[in-house]
Structure formats: structure tokens, C-alpha cells
Structure 1
Amino acid sequence: MPTTVLAAGDHFVLPRLLTEELRNAVPEHGALDIRELRLPWPHTPFGKVAEVDEASGTEEELIEALRGSRICVTQMAPLTERVLRACPELELFCVSRGGPVNANLEAATRHGVAVCYAPGRNAVATAEHTLALILAAARGVGDVHTDLKRGTWRGDTYDYDNCGIEIDGSTIGLVGFGAIGSRVARALAAMGATVLVHDPYVRPDAVAGVARLVSLEELLTRSRIVSLHARVTDETRGMIGHDRIASMPRGAVLVNCARGALVDYDAVCDALDAGHLGGAGFDVYPTEPVPAESRLLTTPGIMLTPHIAGASREVAHKAARIVAAEVARFLRGEPLAHCANALAPVTPLCRSGPAMAGPGSARP
């Protein structure tokens, strides 16, 4: 009897991409009964749905679409306590993102549902976008682009005090050396930069030949450009505020393509207005979309993009491919590669109940 799978895509990771990769990963096409649902993201911003964050769609539509499904592959669908109670057939929920923030892991574990995710799916795209923002912010591209579109030729940008800085020969600090930060480090080193890294989860030998591991304080005081690549935790939330910005060299540049909660953006605007920071580039914000009254929209020296660092067609395909591979492992009764709630796989022949397999995997 075919296994019923819901491919709950959106306008980025399309339902048809999920379906195509599922059929590629499970050659026995007749073994799957795939249903499709399209969620409204990004045409409608994601948000909180019941107890989960960064989700798209409603509990009601997901419950209806999931009826009879053992497996769901998605990017943004909300896996909540209510959804889990209403869908007892569900056994595997695959989130095609770097972390399953739209899934209630505790509730999923109680209901015996394994939750998978897709680490590294957007590492290349985000690293490339980070480099774009570093280059643009270091050379003041945002402001002169806006002025030129309005008909103003900014000849004053050749004034010595208004010139930007080069990557070659600069000391650049990266806070975080995961899949994204390590790629940015290699690219910057190839461009001639001296790269410093702060990451308490990384050993010095892991950065050897590319960068040097230092304390956060040393990184901030020495770097002309600082780029953030950390996850939001109790330790990192608001980590870059007034005091730490003040410790950076005058004219330094700050870039954030990680998470908006890492930075006090009012402190950044204050430092730009005072001339302490020379520029900034941001792709993520505390509130998205950015409110119309935000100082980020009016403070000179900031290059802004609307949370698109991970937006490439390749990312959509990679995301679908990673979760489809998890479905194939699940159906073969093999261990799941990226299970966030550490549930052992359930054999497709007989659901005898999941067993705990020890602590979860490393940071996604």
C-alpha cells in the first residue's frame, strides 16, 4: 500500500520541487502517494503560529491537508501540538531549512514524530550574499546608488575622508565559523584579508591556514570589518550593542546576515550618526518586514536587503533534495541523517514506537 506524503511547499521551495525530489529519491514511484499544498510565504511574511515561530499557513489548512499522511515535507508549515493531536498517522516531519523553528520538537517527541531539517542548504548562497554586503558596505555602495538613481552625482565620494576601504590587507573578524562563516573566511583570505574568528565551538586547528581563533574582544578591537555568523542563544542575543560597537576601530564596518536579534540596531544607527562606524550591511532585522518608522531606513551608511541571503534557485533544489533523502532513509528503515529530536527511525513495515537515540546532533 502506498505511503501518503504531503509536500507542503511555498513560492520558494515549490511543491513540485519537493515532489520531483521525492520521486528521484524513492525510485519505486508507486510506493508514494504524494499530495501537494502551497503555503503563501514569501508573498505573506512568515510569523508565529500558535506556539511555533517563523511559520506560514494555518493549523486548520495543514490539518486538513495532512489527513491520512505518514510523512510531511515542507519548509514553513507549522507543526504544533494541535496539528500533532489531529494527525495521529503522522510519523515523519521534514523541514527543508537549516533549523526546524516551525516545529514544536517537544510535542513531536511526545507524539512519536521524528523531525528532520536541512543543515547547510543555503550555506553557499548566504556566504556569497555576505561577501556582497561586505563589499557594498565597505565602499558605501548603498548611499551612492540611491543618490545616483535620484539624479545626484556624488563626486565627493572621492574625498579622502569619504573613501571606502579595501579587503586586501584588511583585518576582518567573523563571529561564527560554521558552514557559512567558514566559506566567507576562505573567500576573504583568498582576497588578501587577515581573518580573525571567534567561535567557542571551534578548535584552533579547524581554522588553521585560513584564519586565527581569538576572543570576541580581540576580534572587535582589531577588525576593520566584522561579520556575524552566529545563531541566537541566551549568550548571543544582543551581543553587539553600544559598548562592543564602541570598542571597534573608528570607521569600521558591521555586517549581519545571520539573525537580527544579535544586534542592537539603535546602537548601530547612533554609531553611524556619530561617525564611529564607517558603514553597515544588514539582511536580517528584529522585526520583519522592517517597520516604516525604523531608523535603519533613514540612517546614512547602511546597505539593506530584505532577508534574501539564502534566496537562490540552487537553495530551493538543495532543500528539497535533502528532505527527500531523509524520506528515503525513513522508508528503508535506516537512521535519519538530520533528526532534530533524536528519534530513532520507524520501520516502514511496523510502527512499534520510537526509541530515544541519545542527544541530538550538533548545531544545524
Structure 2
Amino acid sequence: MKVLTAGDGFVTTKVLTEALSGADGLEGGAVEVSSIQSNWPNEPYSDFSGVREAFGDEDELIEALTGVDVAISHTYPFSERVIASSPDLKLITITRGGPVNVDIEAATRHGVVVSNAPGRNAVATAEHSIAMIMAAARQIAQRDAEVKAGDWRSDYYNYDQVGPEIAGSTVGLCGYGNVGGKVARALAAMGAHVIVFDPWVDPNALEPGMELAEDLDSLLERASILTLHQRLTKDTELMIGAEQIAKLPDQAIVVNCARGGLLDYDAVADGLDSGKLFAAAFDALPEEPLPEGHRLFSTPRVTMTPHLGGASKQAAELAGRIGAADIARFVRGERPEHLMNPEVYEAGNLRAK
């Protein structure tokens, strides 16, 4: 069986090839592997041809897929055109939680199964979220920039200037999934009281001492630190706006390391400008990258990183291993674990082997 590793600068072809060679049943040349690699993330991805957050040339991908049964990739665009032009392709494995760079409807029509890699960057994103909470509370990035500029300000020791400790704070956490659960457990271990809002969570899944909020408002009224970990859906879009920020205690901190669409950033900026909020930290932004002159650049007490919460060596390697394990199952004639269109596999509608 022929497998194409379509890598990029994060989940590289080397990472993917090594993952395949270590998967149960794929050792010792059990599959024939070919490779291409794109220049992402040194060039930004985009939305095109019915797929999102993709990078790579469709023609290059179509040529590379000639005679290929299985493709494993992170960001290449598996559009309707690519899938229709690759008649031997039976399985597309995407090494990210949301395979938005695949036209799944087109894959389903053409009898191609699609798998993903849920949880591959959960640890990295959780660690980054905790770091951003602490950076916002202690204004680490701002003080670092001032000290390096020769500005040593001991007036930040004044009571009205200092931020809160995590221990003893009430943290409102929206979304108790792979990332949110890890953040909640870490903050609870640091001594925070964690309140969770997640309509889908099993209350028994919460750690002892955590509290499940009846609704979002009851969480907001008590959360001195608000951290977002929801998926972006039509129900969660702009779930935090001016009305919700007004319900937070004075001098609260708002952190978003999930998706930019969850939050009204102008409302947060208004809260910071007015003194309602103490600080904010974002790894997910309303536009990526932010355009020159955007309001957030001049809003006080904002810490930002360029949507790299999930970027760690371990995350890339785990993504490769999760994908390779599903490919190994497929090669052995077994059902891949992480299917996005299981009806294709279960109905036996795959392209002829």
C-alpha cells in the first residue's frame, strides 16, 4: 500500500515518516512511503476551494497522490478537486483535531474515509493557557519590556497596581474538554477554586472541589479569572461580550487561548480602558494577524501571542503517532479509531482496493 506524507514545517515529513515506521504493523517497509513538504508556517495558511486553514499547492498535491492509497498531512488542502483527481486515494489522515482542510462532504461522496488526531496538542495548549493566565496576572511581558528599555518602576508594588495570586482566586472555566480539563486540574492544584461552565460535561467528570455552574451568568458573577476553552460553533460565537463582561467582578482577568470568535475584543478593550478589567491575555485573536493600528496594540495590560498555544515538539510527534496508528489499523483491515465520516467505512463504500 502506498502512503504519502504531506508535511510542513511543524508536522514535518520526517516526523510523519518516523511515526509510520514505528506503528504496529507498518515496521520494516510494510508500506511504500513518498513525501512532499510545504513552507507552512513560514507562509500563512488561507481558506480556499471549499477548505479552511490550509496551505499547499493543489496541483502539487494531485501529482504527489498519483497511485497513492493513503495520505497523512497536517495542512495540505484536500479539496473536492484534489479528491476527485486522486482515484486511488482511500484514506486521508489529518494530524490536527479539526480537519478543516479537508472537504469531508466531497470525501464521503467519493468513498474516501477521513480521520483526525483529537487531543494531539491538548497538553501544549493547556500549558500555554496557564502561562498566559499567570502572565496576565503578573504582567510579565509588560514588565520585561520596560526593564529591557531601562525603565525600572518600583511603583508597581503599590496595592492598586499588583495583580492576584492564582491560589485563592475563583477561576471561571468555559469548556471542560481535552484542554479545559487539563487547565482546570492544574489551576485547582495551585489552589484556585474552579467553576466550570460546559453544558455537555458529565458532573462526575469534575475533580473533587471543582464546581459545575448552572449557567454562564452564575459563573461570570464569581469569576475573578475567566478562561475560555470552548469550541467555536454557532452557539458559542461571541459568547463573551459587553453584557457578560459587565457581570464579572471588578478587576477580573479575561484569557482566550481557544478561538477568536468566542470573544468580543472591543468589549474587553472597553473593560480594560475603563478599569473594569485588570488584564487580558490572548493566543487567539479577532484577526490573524492583527492589522496595523488595531486597537489591541494600544490597549493597556494586554498580553498576546500569535496563536501558537499548541506548538510543541511533543504535540507534533503525538499528532504523527495518532495518525500513523489509524493508518496501521486501515492497512490491517481494521476500522480506524478517529473517523470523521465513519458511515463510509461502516457501509463498505470505500473506493475499490
Instruction: State the TM bucket, normalised to the shorter chain.
Output: over 0.9
| Per-residue deviation, 1:49 | 2.4
| Per-residue deviation, 1:174 | 0.5
Counterparts of 1:210 and 1:336, CA distance in 2? 37
Name the residue aligned to 2:242: 242
Name the residue aligned to 2:16: 18
Counterparts of 2:97 and 2:130, CA distance in 1? 20
Counterparts of 2:303 and 2:319, CA distance in 1? 28
Name the residue aligned to 2:272: 272
- 1:186–1:210 contact (8 Å) kept in structure 2: no
User: Unaligned regions of 5+ residues in structure 2, if any?
Assistant: none
Secondary structure at the aligned position of 2:78 is classed as coil
| Per-residue deviation, 1:29 | 3.1
Secondary structure at the aligned position of 1:272 is classed as helix
- Aligned ranges for residues 39-188 of structure 1 at < 5 Å? 39-188=38-187
Partner deviation per Cα, 1:4-59 (whole Å, 9 max, x = no partner):
11100100111011011111113443331111111111101111121111001121
Secondary structure at the aligned position of 1:31 is classed as coil
- 2:90–2:350 contact (8 Å) kept in structure 1: no
Name the residue aligned to 2:349: 353
- Aligned ranges for residues 314-353 of structure 1 at < 5 Å? 314-343=314-343, 345=345, 353=349
Secondary structure at the aligned position of 1:133 is classed as helix
Secondary structure at the aligned position of 1:30 is classed as coil
Counterparts of 1:115 and 1:191, CA distance in 2? 40
Q: Which amino acid aligns with 2:237?
A: R
Secondary structure at the aligned position of 2:281 is classed as strand
Counterparts of 1:183 and 1:133, CA distance in 2? 14
Name the residue aligned to 1:360: none
Q: Which amino acid aligns with 2:301?
A: G
| Per-residue deviation, 1:352 | 6.1
- 1:52–1:104 contact (8 Å) kept in structure 2: yes
- 1:343–1:354 contact (8 Å) kept in structure 2: no
Q: Which amino acid aligns with 2:37?
A: R
Q: Which amino acid aligns with 2:28?
A: H
Secondary structure at the aligned position of 2:221 is classed as helix
1:311 aligns with 2:307: no
The 10-residue stretch of structure 1 (168-177 or 57-66) with the greater mean CA deviation from structure 2: 57-66
| Per-residue deviation, 1:154 | 2.0
Name the residue aligned to 2:4: 6
- 1:80–1:107 contact (8 Å) kept in structure 2: yes
- 1:335–1:344 contact (8 Å) kept in structure 2: no
Runs of 4+ off more than 4 Å:
none
Report the CA distance shift for 1:150/1:28 in structure 2 as closer, same or farther (over 3 A).
Answer: closer
Secondary structure at the aligned position of 1:23 is classed as helix
Counterparts of 1:291 and 1:150, CA distance in 2? 25
Counterparts of 1:18 and 1:345, CA distance in 2? 24
Report the CA distance shift for 1:27/1:57 in structure 2 as closer, same or farther (over 3 A).
Answer: closer
Counterparts of 1:201 and 1:61, CA distance in 2? 42
Q: Which amino acid aligns with 2:15?
A: L
Name the residue aligned to 1:299: 299
| Per-residue deviation, 1:148 | 1.6
| Per-residue deviation, 1:208 | 4.2
Partner deviation per Cα, 1:267-316 (whole Å, 9 max, x = no partner):
11111111111001100112212222211122110111111111110011
Larger RCO (alpha carbons 8 Å, 6+ apart): 2
Name the residue aligned to 1:259: 259
Partner deviation per Cα, 1:131-155 (whole Å, 9 max, x = no partner):
1000110112222222222221122
- 1:171–1:195 contact (8 Å) kept in structure 2: yes
RMSD: 1.5
Q: Which amino acid aligns with 1:15?
A: T
**TM-score of the pair, normalised by structure 2:** 0.96
Counterparts of 2:260 and 2:282, CA distance in 1? 8
| Per-residue deviation, 1:343 | 3.7
- 1:96–1:322 contact (8 Å) kept in structure 2: yes
User: Unaligned regions of 5+ residues in structure 1, if any?
Assistant: 356-364
Counterparts of 1:261 and 1:46, CA distance in 2? 18
Counterparts of 1:268 and 1:12, CA distance in 2? 32
Report the CA distance shift for 1:28/1:206 in structure 2 as closer, same or farther (over 3 A).
Answer: closer
Q: Which amino acid aligns with 2:5?
A: A
Partner deviation per Cα, 1:208-243 (whole Å, 9 max, x = no partner):
414111011111110000100000100101111111
